[in-house]
Amino acid sequence: MNVARPGMVTSPHPLASAAGAAVLASGGTAIEAAVAIAACLSVVMPHFCGIGGDAVWLVADRQGRQRCFLGIGQAAETLPAYGSAIPLRGPASTVTSACAVDSWGHALAYSADRWGGTQAFADLLAPAIALARDGYVPSRSQQFWFDFRHDEIPQWRGFAEHFSAAPGALFRQPGLARSLSLLAEDGYRSFYDGRLAEQLAEGLAAAGSPLRATDLAATRTRDEAPASLDYRGLTLLAPPAPTQGLSTLAILGILSHFDLAALPPTSPLRYHLLVEAVKQAFLDRPLIADPDCSEPPPWDFLDPQRLAAKAAAIDPARALPWPHPYQHGDTVYFAAADEQGRCASVLQSTYFDWGSGVPIGDTGILWQNRGAAFSTVPGDRNRIEPGKRPFYTLNPGIALKDGNPHLLYGTQGADGQPQTLSVLLSGLIDHGMTPEEALAQPRFLLGKTFSDSRDSLKIEASLGEAAMGTLAALGHEVAPLPALSPIFGQAGAIRLTDADSVSGAHDPRGEGDAIQCQRPLPE
């Protein structure tokens, strides 16, 4: 039997990966597979993402086309009078519209126009609708984050009746099944100006959200060119502002001035350089904001001379003090590469685990709290304004080799995303690791987190006591955490080679997987 070149999907949940793999096996494009995955993850990982949230896409192909789809909801046109800060949960945090579903539709239009995609939106949603209607056994991750918020959940009005699940029993979401079915019947814009939008506008108003029907109708995905940076002969692509993709690229630009390949993967000096490069890049990060509503930054984040100066500022023998706050957030990363080497690298999120904690009416949709990422400080570049998009942590990546997609990568974890990507990309590129090996490397998190209020450097204990002792001697306040801790998020990676082979994996810290599939060709 003849077969096409293999395709691959990776996601943090086996049911979602299986849905994407089925699309590829039937001849669908990488974008079509990614939409099927995205819809399923909105059902089976409600603690991290959903159709009440946002999504950021990178797509690339072997014809030299690369685009970024910024599915980022904007702030309401009529805002409440916030005090010193925007609440992290509750109705007042539901201040930005949700753009994930619009990004699905935008991506599918691109797939049909540029890649000849033909699969119907309703067919791609069918597996997700079945999972919401018939139920699934919640993952360990879902149960962990439900238990983690045990003391807070009683304060989230209406949440428990929608999202409580008995361990080991099937978890059904009939309201969400009805909402997804409406999208399948009416099309994706039903979320914004159709029957589902009417239900959402009514539910948002009843919950006390400032969002109205006009805010939903105004929600649109931005289609932009990716930001890029050359690293060790590869071209790294990242989403532009208002995302922190610029920070990820800056970190790698700083690291390009060091010979990381000469250092063993678990060398404390390697980790010291990774951490210090993160610090140098993060010093500029407060300048990232919605370019439509803010003055341009005073300098180019990726200017080679600036990155060289930041590399020179790193002291190999001493850590830079770091009393800077850490932003929380959770999301899901997934990716797909089809038989023609066309690729989609995607992050989808409701910001914090369980988003705002506010279910909208009887739609089964949990709304995001992304508005909590705004500032209320006068003069701050990220200060909340009507119609503005917040600073955004989501930054999926694609690396090109000789102009063709070579690596797909991304991770969960808000501020931790660029930090994890520094470890992941250094492993994949500098040390030639397989995706499985790169994802299993010890990780770090810098600064305060919800697991540790100290300004410490959290590192997985698998790095080893001796290496941690050396890092402490360099001035890092090291706080070991268990190996493969869920605190370090879940990442994924796919590698495509010139020999038309493909390999990939999802994070050993979760239950996700990667599936390779080949489509039979006619004899």
| Residue positions annotated with a catalytic role | 331
How is residue 129 written in tokens? 């609708």
Q: Count other Cβ atoms within 10 Å, centred on residue 229.
A: 22
Read off the amino acid at residue 261.
Answer: A
Q: Where are the alpha helices (DSSP H) in 10-169?
A: 14-25, 30-44, 100-115, 121-134, 140-148, 159-163
Residues 99 and 74: their CA atoms lie apart, in Å, by 9
The answer to whether 343 and 321 have CB atoms below 8 angstroms apart is no
Query: In this structure, are strands 365-366 and 359-360 parallel, antiparallel, or unpaired?
Result: antiparallel
How is residue 307 written in tokens? 């990155």
The answer to whether 371 and 96 have CB atoms below 8 angstroms apart is yes
User: Cis before residue 242, ω within 30 degrees of 0?
Assistant: yes
The answer to whether 183 and 132 have CB atoms below 8 angstroms apart is no
Residues 44 and 180: their CA atoms lie apart, in Å, by 13
How is residue 312 written in tokens? 């020179």
Residues whose CB falls within 8 Å of the CB of residue 430, separated by 6 or more in sequence, listed in order: 232, 260, 261
Q: Secondary structure of 75-115 in the HEC alphabet?
A: ECCCCCCCCCCCCCCCHHHCCECCCHHHHHHHHHHHHHHHH
Query: In this structure, are strands 404-411 and 491-496 parallel, antiparallel, or unpaired?
Result: antiparallel
The answer to whether 368 and 356 have CB atoms below 8 angstroms apart is yes
Residues 60 and 408: their CA atoms lie apart, in Å, by 10
Estimate the share of the chain in helix, then strand, then coil, as percent rounded to the nearest 5: 35, 20, 45
The answer to whether 520 and 453 have CB atoms below 8 angstroms apart is no
User: Which of helix, strand or coil describes residue 68?
Assistant: strand
**Edge-to-edge strands of the sheet including 444-446?**
444-446, 457-460, 478-481
How far, in whole angstroms, is CA 299 from its chain's centroid?
26
Q: Count other Cβ atoms within 10 Å, centred on residue 107.
A: 28
